[in-house]
Amino acid sequence: MHTETPFKTHFNAEQAGLESLNIKSSNITFVSVSDMLALINQYGVEQLMLGMVEYLEADFKRWLDFDKSPRFAAHSAEGVIELMPVADHQQFSFKYVNGHPKNTKIGLQTVTAFGVLSDVASGYPLMLSEMTILTALRTAATSAMMAKYLAPKQSKTLAMIGCGAQSEFQILAFKAILGVTHVRLYDIEPNATKKCFNNLQSYSKENDLNIEICHSSEEVIKEADIITTCTADKRNATILKSDMVGEGVHINAIGGDCPGKTELDAALLNRSDVFVEYEPQTRIEGDIQQLPSDSKVTEMYQVILGEKSGRTHDAQLTIFDGVGFALEDYSALRFIFELIKQNKEAQQIELLASPEDPRNLFGLTQTHSTPSA
Amino acid sequence: MHTETPFKTHFNAEQAGLESLNIKSSNITFVSVSDMLALINQYGVEQLMLGMVEYLEADFKRWLDFDKSPRFAAHSAEGVIELMPVADHQQFSFKYVNGHPKNTKIGLQTVTAFGVLSDVASGYPLMLSEMTILTALRTAATSAMMAKYLAPKQSKTLAMIGCGAQSEFQILAFKAILGVTHVRLYDIEPNATKKCFNNLQSYSKENDLNIEICHSSEEVIKEADIITTCTADKRNATILKSDMVGEGVHINAIGGDCPGKTELDAALLNRSDVFVEYEPQTRIEGDIQQLPSDSKVTEMYQVILGEKSGRTHDAQLTIFDGVGFALEDYSALRFIFELIKQNKEAQQIELLASPEDPRNLFGLTQTHSTPSA
């Protein structure tokens, strides 16, 4: 754990890197699902998340440099489509992401996503990337990065409540970044628990990670230092009641992430120190939507900067009420863009009109073109 | 003019058409710049705009079905990057668009854009399209469509103030949709005027369109029935003073489209009947940002539905204070999607993860992949 990452691209705000780009081109870099999987094959999930944590911490430390806003959400009967923009003076990013819990019944993902990284000075997009997989990586990297500041020292046991699409990524992040050695799994659907267990079976043997299947929320949290709740129901549920949870635990609550969707007992929130990404958004979407709008919370950038305390004593009960914030996507996209720039054969798509005289857009329509398909 | 469009895809809300899509696929349709130019070559700019007007009118008539919001804008020293989402119960769309007036000095476009059309029921994106060219088409189609309700009957002469990237599209739209026969051009930069004139020279001969170069705002608006202002300076300018403009004219004011960027004299606005797309957005971005927030304006959907009057008498001075609204991009994307679906060889890009078991996203990372480049 805490190993050095193999990436040459440690963060340097001054070199954050558009100097080598030829933005006159009509092409932008495209990272398809296959390209993302190829990066995972090349570096490994754990190494990618370790590298991403460096970018996340560097960007959270620059928190005040960013233009932030709660995400835009278009709700419908079946789910939600969201746009998550953020920008500093150099780069702009946004992610498109949906959340449709019933999708799995027709063979589709609950969550799909893609994102764009842009150059602020020209307004030109630089990269379009798939983010269904990248979101799973960045969500897990974010959870583990926050836990570095909030979880009990030398946490060894992670309880995983909810074994859906995010679960294996979460487990690998806590293994790689926190060094947990024991993982306990529980999902209300036994098949999900089994899927997660099977996916990690050979990994756990090779890496001395002890993984155990449990059959209730009460059982799964036994002796856990860290409890991750990551369930998918779009309603106010109570995955964890207050009287189930003892002292000295860190709860990584990432499934309560839209209005009307919560996971924790309000009494449990009231007993705990609650940490959030961006308070205005978490008030709308997080588990704290159950609490009065002036309940005490701490924004994590202040903890990461050392301005406020994370965990202060062993018996403290901490909750990271994570909803997923645009800055995390910015960091993830910036990281992937740096990696993909090293690949001279990165895919390009012709997204931008590039007339010789920029004021003569109409001139383009006068030349004969054939579809590029 | 008013010719029948060659498209089979007349609007039908019930058949708005996702039935034939295989959204299990990891691919979505991609319309590159070359693909858009190929559509223009195939159908012609005028026919595309005529088709688009049908979609625009149909969607404006369904105004109350849409979830609307002012666009999201990230302003920087050099310009602005915007996201423009809108949705009804069937489809969601958004456009990414920048505005960077100094870009032309380094050979880049002032405005570039791309957009996505999605299926609301699943949240899955269906099509990614270039929109730099498409925005020029839809802006011109929108201007002309609005003028059908606002311009003097049998308008013959269009004055074009500002001969930048949008100008030729505007002229062709007013020719195709309003039937203007005379166009007068003026830009503060004579090269821009010349570029516009040259681009339309052979077209104007073939189509009996009389085009004249003018050398001042005063000169260009002489005898004009319709005045289009489409200038690019990011500041409060006064392209048209009130005492320059007589009665019985329609002003299509589309260049004042962000905070601090206006084109018309406040006194001119006060003398006129002002029509807008979406009042909350136009108050922020339009020429009416100069007026008190309760100044009288009419939203165009009410005029198109016949609930309110457009032009009522010959001497009336009308202004369409156009800023560009997300619904117009929705209509344009929907139109292009219908066209491109007829092309069996439309380009696809692999933007979506599609694991066999939708809850097993992690499983994808365990298969060996190579980059698709």
pLDDT tens digits for range A2-20? 444 445 433 332 333 333 3
pLDDT band for position B234 (cuts 50, 70, 90): low
Of A35, A225, A257, A273, the active-site residue reads A257
- Nearest chain A Cα distance for residue B230, angstroms: 13
For residues A203-209, average pLDDT:
95
Please tell me the predicted confidence (pLDDT) of residue B25: 64
Annotated active-site positions of B, please? Answer: 257
Please report the pLDDT score of residue A368 as a whole number: 54
Set of chain A residues whose Cβ sits within 8 Å of the Cβ of B89: 76-77
Residue with tokens 């069937």: B90
- Asked whether B239 and B164 are in contact (CB, 8 A), the reply is no
Q: In the β-sheet with B125-130, what is the strand arrangement from edge to edge? A: B72-75, B80-87, B91-99, B113-119, B125-130, B27-31, B348-350
Predicted local distance difference test score (pLDDT) of residue B15? 35
At residue B368 the predicted structure's pLDDT band, cuts being 50, 70 and 90, is: low
- Looking at residue A271, its pLDDT comes to 95
Q: Please enumerate in sequence order all residues whose Cβ is within 8 A of that of A187, keeping only pairs 6 or more positions apart, or say none.
A: A161, A162, A163, A164, A167, A193, A196
**Half-sphere exposure for A340 (CA within 13 Å, toward CB):** 31
Instruction: Clarify whether residues A272 and A335 are in a common domain.
Output: no
Is the predicted pLDDT of residue A370 greater than 70, yes or no?
no
Q: What is the pLDDT of residue B137?
A: 97
Measured N-to-C along each axis, helices A33-43 and A326-341 cross at an angle, to the nearest 10 degrees, of: 70
Please give the residue of chain A at the shortest CA–CA distance from B113. Answer: A352
A234 pLDDT higher than 90 = no
Quick check: helix, strand or coil at residue A211? strand
In a domain, B8, yes or no: no
pLDDT in tens, B281-323: 999 989 999 999 999 999 999 999 999 999 999 999 999 999 9
Q: Which pLDDT does position A71 carry in this prediction?
A: 82
- Closest C-alpha among A75, A79, A95 to residue A87: A95
CB contacts, 8 Å: B354 with chain A: 33, 109
Does pLDDT of A66 surpass 60? yes
Residue B139 domain-assigned (yes or no): no
- At A302 the pLDDT is 98
Q: How far apart are CA B69 and CA A94, in angstroms?
A: 17
Same domain? For A318 and A340 the reply is no
- Nearest CB to B34: which of A33, A123, A371? A371
CATH of the domain at B57: 3.30.1780.10
The answer to whether residues A315 and A337 belong to one domain is no
Please tell me whether residues A291 and A183 are part of one structural domain.
yes
Q: What is the CATH number of the domain that holds A245?
A: 3.40.50.720
Q: Collapsing DSSP states into helix, strand and coil, what is residue B61?
A: helix
Tens digits of residue pLDDT in B329-354: 999 999 999 999 888 778 999 999 98
Residues in CB range of A247: below 8 A, 6 or more apart: A315, A316, A317
- pLDDT for position A25: 64
Single out the residue of B196, B234, B230 nearest to residue B99, CA to CA.
Answer: B234
Q: To probe the interface with A, which of B193, B364, B368 has the most A CB atoms within 10 Å?
A: B364
Q: Is the dihedral of CA B363, A257, A132, B90 positive or negative?
A: positive
Instruction: Name the minimum distance, in Å, from the CA of B280 to any CA of chain A.
Output: 17
Q: Does residue B10 form part of some domain?
A: no
Among A119, A138, A107, A124, CA closest to A36: A138
Count of domains forming chain A: 2
If you write DSSP's letter for every residue of A103-123 in order, what string do you get?
A: GGGGT--S--EEEEEEETTT-
Q: Which chain A residues touch B368 with a CB distance below 8 Å? A: 41
The mean pLDDT of chain B is: 90
User: Range with the lowest mean pLDDT among A137-146, B255-264, B320-329?
Assistant: B255-264
C-beta of residue B184 within 8 angstroms of C-beta of residue B217: no
Residues A228 and A204 in one domain: yes
Residues in A touching B99 (Cβ below 8 Å): 123
Least-confidence region, from A78-92, A260-274, A348-362? A348-362
Nearest by CB to residue B85, choosing from A83, A128, A358, is: A83
* Among A27, A23, A128, residue whose Cα is nearest residue A350: A27
Are residues A205 and A347 located together in one domain of the fold?
no
In a domain, A231, yes or no: yes
What average pLDDT does this structure show over B175-189? 97
Mean model confidence pLDDT for chain A: 90
Quick one: pLDDT at residue A21?
42
- Predicted local distance difference test score (pLDDT) of residue A354: 86
Nearest to B261 by CA among B298, B281, B290, B241: B290
Residue B155: per-residue pLDDT: 97
Give residue B357's pLDDT.
Answer: 83
Q: Which range of residues forms the domain containing residue B113?
A: 23-133+327-365
Q: Are strands A273-276 and A80-87 parallel, antiparallel or unpaired?
A: unpaired
Residue B144 has a pLDDT of 98
Residues contacting residue B314 through CB under 8 Å, at least 6 positions apart: B152, B153, B248
Name all contacts of A216-223 with Cβ < 8 Å and 24+ positions apart: A216/A186, A217/A161, A217/A186, A217/A244, A218/A244, A219/A184, A219/A186, A220/A159, A220/A160, A220/A161, A220/A184, A220/A185, A220/A186, A221/A159, A221/A161, A221/A184, A221/A245, A221/A249, A222/A159, A222/A184, A223/A157
Model confidence over A302-320: pLDDT tens digits? 999 999 999 999 999 999 9
Residue A2 lies in a domain: no
Residue in this structure with the two tokens 């005063």, named with its chain if needed: B218
Same domain? A312 vs A176: yes
Residues A91 and A227 in one domain: no
Looking at the structure, tell me whether residues A351 and A309 fall in a common domain: no
pLDDT at A366: 84
Q: Is the domain of A127 the same as that of A169?
A: no
Query: A160: which DSSP letter?
Result: E
Q: Collect all residues of chain B within an 8 Å Cβ-Cβ radius of residue A109.
A: 352-355, 358, 361
Q: How many residues does chain A have?
A: 373
For A132, the closest of B85, B195, B352 (CB atoms) is B352
| Residues A114 and A29 occupy one common structural domain | yes
pLDDT of A372 above 70 = no
- Could you say which DSSP state residue B65 is in? G
Residue B48 tokens read as: 């595309």
> Is A3 part of a structural domain of the chain?
no
Average of per-residue pLDDT across A201-212: 96
Residue A194 in 3-state DSSP?
helix
Residue A14: its pLDDT value, please? Answer: 32
Among B48, B84, B92, B120, pick the best mutation site for testing chain A contact (most A Cβ within 10 A): B120
- Express each pLDDT in A102-144 by its tens digit: 898 888 888 899 999 999 999 999 999 999 999 999 999 999 9
At residue A34, the pLDDT reads 93
B104 falls within a domain: yes
What pLDDT is attached to residue B65? Answer: 96
CB atoms within 10 A of CB A216: 11
**A54-68, B223-237, B356-370: range with highest mean pLDDT:** A54-68
Same domain, B103 and B157: no
Residue B63 has what pLDDT? 97
Residue A298 domain-assigned (yes or no): yes
Q: Do A353 and B164 touch (CB under 8 A)?
A: no
Using CB atoms, pick whichever of B35, B81, B346 lies closest to residue A92. Answer: B81
